[in-house]
Amino acid sequence: MNVELYNQPLSSIIADITIEFVTPQQWETHPHAPLLSMAKFEGKSEQICLLHEHKLIVCGLDNESSDEYRSAMTSVIKTLLDTNYTCAKLCIPKEIYFHAVIEGALLGGYKFQEYKSKPKTSSLQTLFFAYNSQYDFEHFQSILHQTLIVSKATNFVRDLVNQTPYDMTPQTMAITAEALAQTNNLECTILDVNSLESENMNAMLAVGRASVNPPRLIHLAYKPNNPKKVITLVGKGLTYDSGGLSLKAATSMVTMKMDKAGGCAVMGIIKAISELSLDIEVHAFVGAVENMIGGNAYKPDDVLVAKNGKTIEVRNTDAEGRLVLADVLGYAQEKVKADYIFDYATLTGACMVALGPYTTGVMGHNEELKRSWLQAAEASGEYCGNLPFNPHLKKLIKSDLADVCNVSSKPYGGAITAALFLDNFIDEDMKQKWIHFDIAGSAYTESAWDVHTYGGTGAGVRMTLEWLLKLQQQGNN
């Protein structure tokens, strides 16, 4: 969908239909209040009333907030996509809500139809915004430009996550990264099995050993001149997870194409960063692996030697993502001296138990850093919750056989113990600069909510770009 901004009155813009938002307090004084009343319209959140004869669609808001405008615009767009209107227009709301309305249109109107034999087409092509003032027009253009890039990057991630495991193998993920590097002027390095062996990435290799699709490590780099900061992003890229020999139940295997969402997220983030031309150097690392079963699969009771030399007792082969991340985190820290390192992973079902299916778990040692991320998430429209470390939980991943065990000895605090496992592979000088994001619940949905349709949500993209934009702004001050 095209989104365009015009510095002229709404009445001067030619469109098929006009969009209006009203609160419960406003609709009763609306020029078409009698018609709205006949339709039992009360201005409630996301309530829609289409007045075709007046070429008008009215949507309710419980209150004026970014979340309300985002959700309301999503409802409007979904309604209009089922009509024959080709273009719509509306006035820009207050500046602080402008980005949310754009996101509601682009993210709420997202559809993934690659596997439909007869994709459903929509007539709606263009959305016009009217801003009738000589002041700050360039500022609103900048908001539009930035939000379009972030929203399209989010939808790019959704497309990758929604690809089936047959189509999106580790090799295909590497090819996708190479294509992204070419179009966005990024550096790209791909490590195959031989290179992974030479780097002593034995934990990652063990996870992918039984698959006919060999693993790949992807390293994308965006390097502007004189960067203010250097950021490392690490993503779990399990293109499919059967659970290995600790085989998942059949119902749990469905949707496991989403286990690559962390790797897809960091690719989408660096895509947006390059298009926004931020003065921040960013390195995105993806451990692309498929966890399958076979005669050569790694086993419970195996002891693996990670890249940093630490030994890992395997007690469950379905706790594989943390093994991949252990090696990728070690490799990333060895190759790049960063100011911060952040990892994104659909790591634990326990995170969903703790925070629900919509919220990303935020873990790390630095309380101030975590707070800055919670604030960025709130500003971006994503949900995050802090899951605190404590030394007693750390004791649950001790191993009598090796340096650390890949699962906890008790079935409690699983999201936190998984993060504490990863902590073993964070260098001492980076521990206060590291955050782990568990996106197991937030990265994929089977029922629509807010701007999210069925499938991948693009979790992590909007909040990370919000955090990075604030970081750049602080560097400019």
Which positions are catalytic?
A: 248, 322
Distance CA 15, CA 472 (A): 38
Q: Are 164 and 115 in contact (CB under 8 A)?
A: yes
Q: Which residue has the tokens 């659909």?
A: 346
Residue 153, judged by CB atoms within 10 A of its CB (0-12, 13-18, 19+), counts as buried
Instruction: Report the 10 Å Cβ neighbour count for 209.
Output: 18
Q: Which of helix, strand or coil describes residue 326?
A: helix
Say which amino acid occupies 468: L
Q: First CA to last CA across the chain, in angstroms? A: 36
| Cα–Cα distances in angstroms (integers) from residue 355 to residues 385, 439, 441, in the given order | 7, 11, 8
Residue spans of beta strands (DSSP E) within 337-446:
340-345, 359-364, 383-386, 404-405, 434-438, 444-445
Say which amino acid occupies 75: S
Q: Are 435 and 344 in contact (CB under 8 A)?
A: no
